[in-house]
Amino acid sequence: MLKIEELHASIEDKEILRGVNLQLKPGEVHAIMGPNGSGKSTLASVLIGREGYQVSGSVTYEGQDLLTLSPEERAAAGVFLAFQHPVEIPGVGNMYFMRTALNSLRRQRGEEELDPVDFLALAQEKMKLVEMDQTFMNRSVNEGFSGGEKKRNEILQMAILEPKLAILDETDSGLDIDALRVVASGVNALRSEGRSMLVITHHQRLLDYIVPDQVHVMTAGRIVRSGGKDLAVELEAHGYTGTQEADAGRLSTAGISR
């Protein structure tokens, strides 16, 4: 599904990713944890094709070189990012936005487009997953949405676009426990054999709800440790500092206190 090899990325001559290696099989959910500034979000950005990075190394997605594709081509190929900070787009209706997105995706795949009536039926079905009602669809994209509403809106888009690789960037940030539960249950409902997920998070809390197959610890632009879901619990208990000791010398400043 996804194979990342020796991925380096820098911005304005500052190296942020310093040789990331990661492999994701179909249906697997991997968590990437790490302190602020460790490069987690940069990894997500590079995977979806955000401009401004000098990138080397390779990312193979379903047998093709992902790094040569434009963001929209990656999306059409089934890569999805749930943004940490979903963008507000005044003047574009949420419903229209999602229909345009789905139809753009279908067009690029040579599939038939959905008319508004069929799309509405589809959207209403998916909205139940994240407990959203019609009023959200009639508003401008994310405009005036609360933090929780924005994150639910991201998961709704994921449900509608049905990606093969979903990257969730700090989806738990800014959520209270009820909102977290709704978002997580939406994500869990979308887990399937053919769909892989990369869950980027700062806190172990999210992983109580979205239980990963593997956990990777990222510090200073590298994955320094990998393990099963228990690794997250260990991190929760001991913090990232313990992990850093394994890679001492190079990683002296990062870390969060818990």
Partner 1 sequence: MTVLSAASGVLAGFEPRLGARDPAWLAEARVAALQWVGEHGFPTHKDEDWKYTGLAPILAVPFDAATVASGIRVTAEMIDEAAVDLGGPRLVFVNGHFSSEFSRVTGVPAGAVVTTLAAVLAAGPDRLEPFFAHAPGVRHAFAAFNDALAEDGAFIHLPSGTIVDEPIQLVYFSDTGGVPLIFSPRSVIIADSHSRATIVETYAGVDSDVYCTNAVTELLLAEDAHIEHYKVQNEPTSAFHVALLSVRQGRGSRFSSRSIMLGASIARHEVRVQLDGVGAEVSLDGVYLPQGDQLHDNTIFVDHAATDCTSHQLYKGVLDGRAHGVFNGHIMVRHGADGTDANQKNKNLLLSDRAEVDTRPRLEIYTDDVKCTHGAAVGQMDEEALLYLQTRAIPLEAARGLLIYAFVHEMVDRIELDPLRAQLERVVATRFGSDATVVAP
Minimum distance of partner 1 from residue 98's CB (angstroms): 8
Binding-site size for partner 1 (CB under 8 A) equals 35
- C-alpha count within 13 angstroms, C-beta hemisphere, residue 119: 20
Contact window for partner 1 (CB under 8 A) among 56-64, 78-86, 182-190, 210-218: 78-86
Quick one: which of 197, 203, 158, 214 has its CA closest to 180?
A: 203
- b/e per residue 42-79 (b: at least 16 CB within 10 A): bbbbbbbbeeebeeebebebeeeebbebeeeebbbbbb
Please, what is the minimum distance in Å from the beta carbon of residue 29 to partner 1?
20
Q: Which of 48, 207, 224, 231 binds partner 1 (CB under 8 A)?
A: 48
Smallest separation, CB 256 to partner 1 (Å): 26
CB of 232 to partner 1, least distance (A): 27
Question: Is 199 in contact with 213 (CB distance < 8 Å)?
Answer: no
The residue behind tokens 């380096």 is 8
Q: In the complex with partner 1, which residue's Cβ is closer, 162 or 247?
A: 162
Tell me how far apart the alpha carbons of residues 240 and 13 are, in angstroms, rounded to a whole number.
Answer: 26
Among 16, 75, 179, 217, binds partner 1 (CB under 8 A): 75
When asked if residue 7 is in the footprint of partner 1 (CB under 8 A), the reply is no
Q: According to the binding rule CB under 8 A, does residue 58 interact with partner 1?
A: no
